[in-house]
Amino acid sequence: QAVERHRREPSQLLQILIETQDGIGHLPAASLTRIADLLELPRARVEGVAGFYSFLHTEPVGRYRVLFSDNIIDRMLGSRGLMESLCRRLEVAPGEVSAGGEASVDTTSCTGMGDQGPAILVNGLAVTRLDEARIERIASLVRAGTPVAEWPAEYFRIDDNIRRRGALLGEDFVPGAALQAAMARGRQGWLEEMRISGLRGRGGAGFTTAVKWMACRDAPGADKVVVCNADEGEPGTFKDRVLLASQAERIFEGMTLAAWATGARQGLLYLRGEYRYLLKHLRAVLALRRAAGLLGARILGEGGFDFDIDIHLGAGAYVCGEETALLESLEGKRGTPRIRPPFPVTHGYLGRPTVVNNVETLAKTTLIALQGGAAFAATGTPQSTGTKLLSISGDCAYPGVYEYPFGVTIEHVLEDCGAHDPQVVQVGGASGVTIAGHEFHRRIAFEDVPTAGAFMVFDGRRDPFEMARNFVHFFAHESCGFCTPCRVGTALLKGYMDKLASGKGAKMDLADIEWLDRLLKNASHCGLGSSAPNPVIDTLIKFRPAYERRLVSLDFKPAFDLDAALETARRMTGRDDPAAHLDWREEV
Ligand code: SF4
């Protein structure tokens, strides 16, 4: 059925797999074979996609699949203890399925609920504000076999927690008004306003949006595409979640503004799997816009243009936030980043010229259409115009979403969010920048401290080493495995951090970590690998005592017991003397 619903389109493979799993609970081998036959794809391709995404399962995972968000902030809020408690109550080991096959409990990367954690996903739906009482009740519901749809609605309540409003969050928006204003200027006039605004991508890289749009407009090919990247997976980020929930009209209108500028007729919004609870709401907004003549054929009537938007769901792969991996995923493939050039603006979705913009970037374009580029550029700094949304979580009294003009200092933000005794701020998530106390005067801006939006606060009780170790585990888990430096390098980095944590570290390990940093930065295929060592190197420089107090020796110290490891080989060779494993030269 899922295959027919998607018109036997191979590019819909991921959506077909998600819907098939929704119906059966997992993806049995027979289903994969059937899907491959119907789509006329090699079975290996279908199995390869099913195996890539962490929310897809080829083996049964139980009627209830519970995934604890394993972000460092959730851990600080007690997620580990709560997970142990649920496992005990359900008599299941982490990562396994209970004896009766009814439930499984495991961890997943950040679920984007850092402002209201600890959080879990139950059969893909987020449950927030967990505590021991809620865990006890959830265990009872699972044991009683109560369908998730009948669980208390309060469990699934997700607040926006908007704490500070600026130009984007503070102003009412009339659907269609920005589009009318842009179309009145003509295509070239609208692009000129975008250029004057200086708007830079809010997804992290900071590329100038107008330049991207112009390159797509000028690329050969009539079938251009606008893609909204709603796959914010950076640990500690959740502001796009709030925009999708409260500003969907602006986001879709921003996509339509991009289509007007580039000549695109097709739009795709890629929604991260963790936010699938927003799917119904987003589809309802799309329907409203079609009914109002703001999407579809001849937008805004005679003389208008054709453009419509579909929503695609992700399935738990952080790397798909990278724009070329996201395009692969949209095409129904594994989310492996592409080699660039060519860039998406000339060869994007299905080889067509494609603009990929972040949720916040697209929402901001409505401000430019309504106010003009110069008014937009009057806020912020010369190189970072406009405002920036921050997702603030961790050790502060008021976690949530804050909108500031670019250029705001970190100490100002800390004061606003009620942070007491802040020691470290991790800006930009796991791949971002670790800011120590003496740097709190620094500013949030592309030219100083850039960020896609995460702002995690750690007070004096926290250990910067453990923060970095959590992030390294995250990268090792999320590496797509395509290139060896990242696949092996992130695993090695994780091994070194675990060795240090277990008290077996030596000074030589710190030197090896620095060597790994250079390797990952220089040889990784995409930003995930090259930024994976950032939190370790930053904390190693700024909080070195947190590492040095874990060292037991200044010399090399193996992470395992060499004698025990060689015992079998010794028995087989009859070498049981204590020096058997030493270098032969020492014996001479
Ligand atoms: Fe995949 Fe890592 Fe290589 Fe990026 S750097 S392509 S995530 S293995």
490 Cα: distance to centroid of ligand 1 (angstroms): 10
Q: Are residues 318 and 248 in the same domain?
A: yes
Q: How confident is the model at residue 220 (pLDDT cuts 50, 70, 90)?
A: very high
Q: Are residues 221 and 329 in the same domain?
A: yes
pLDDT above 80 (res 581): no
Domain finish residue from 316, 348, 377 = 377
pLDDT above 90 (res 569): no
For ligand 1, atom 1, the nearest C-alpha belongs to 480
Between CA 122 and CA 457 the distance in angstroms is 27
What is the distance between the terminal CA atoms of the chain, rounded to a whole angstrom? 74
* Angstrom distances, CA of residue 139 to CA of 82, 91, 133: 11, 10, 10
Q: How confident is the model at residue 303 (pLDDT cuts 50, 70, 90)?
A: confident
Q: Is residue 495 part of a domain?
A: yes
pLDDT of 316-328, one tens digit each? 999 999 999 999 9
Q: Are residues 310 and 208 in the same domain?
A: yes
Q: What is the pLDDT of residue 588?
A: 41
Nearest CA to 74 among 429, 394, 316, 418? 394
Q: Are residues 436 and 537 in the same domain?
A: no
- Residue pair 425/393 in contact by the 8 Å Cβ criterion: no
- Ligand 1 test: best mutation among 480, 488, 521, 531, most atoms within 8 Å of CB? 480
Q: Is residue 285 part of a domain?
A: yes
| Domain of residue 250, CATH code | 3.40.50.11540
- Ligand 1 test: best mutation among 324, 339, 528, 534, most atoms within 8 Å of CB? 528
Q: Are residues 359 and 266 in the same domain?
A: yes
pLDDT of 257-301, one tens digit each? 999 999 999 999 999 999 999 999 999 999 999 999 999 999 998
Q: Is 541 left (phi over 0), alpha (psi -120 to 50) or beta?
A: alpha
For ligand 1, atom 5, the nearest C-alpha belongs to 529
319 Cα: distance to centroid of ligand 1 (angstroms): 8
Q: Are residues 277 and 417 in the same domain?
A: no
| Domain of residue 91, CATH code | 3.40.30.10
Q: Are residues 71 and 87 in the same domain?
A: yes
For ligand 1, atom 3, the nearest C-alpha belongs to 483
pLDDT of 118-168, one tens digit each? 999 999 999 999 999 999 999 999 999 999 999 999 999 999 999 999 999
Q: Is residue 585 part of a domain?
A: no
Q: Are residues 249 and 351 in the same domain?
A: yes
Instruction: List the single range of 5-9, 348-352, 548-552 with lowest mean pLDDT.
Output: 548-552
Please give the average per-residue pLDDT across 214-231, as a whole number.
96
pLDDT of 503-526, one tens digit each? 889 889 999 999 999 999 999 999
Domain finish residue from 377, 408, 433 = 377
| Amino acid sitting at position 304 | G
pLDDT above 60 (res 527): yes
Between CA 123 and CA 232 the distance in angstroms is 20
The answer to whether the complex's ipTM is over 0.95 is yes
- Ligand 1 test: best mutation among 52, 482, 520, 530, most atoms within 8 Å of CB? 482
Q: What is the pLDDT of residue 587?
A: 47
Please give the average per-residue pLDDT across 409-415, as a whole number.
98
322 Cα: distance to centroid of ligand 1 (angstroms): 10
Q: Are residues 342 and 394 in the same domain?
A: no
Q: Are residues 120 and 74 in the same domain?
A: yes
**How many domains, in total, are found in the chain?**
5
- Calculate the average pLDDT of the chain: 94
Domain finish residue from 125, 159, 193 = 159
Q: Are residues 260 and 367 in the same domain?
A: yes
390 Cα: distance to centroid of ligand 1 (angstroms): 27
Binding-site residues, ligand 1, Cβ < 6 A:
319, 337, 479-483, 486-487, 524-526, 528-529
493 Cα: distance to centroid of ligand 1 (angstroms): 15
Atom of ligand 1 nearest to the CA of 482: 8
Domain membership of residue 473 as a residue range: 465-553
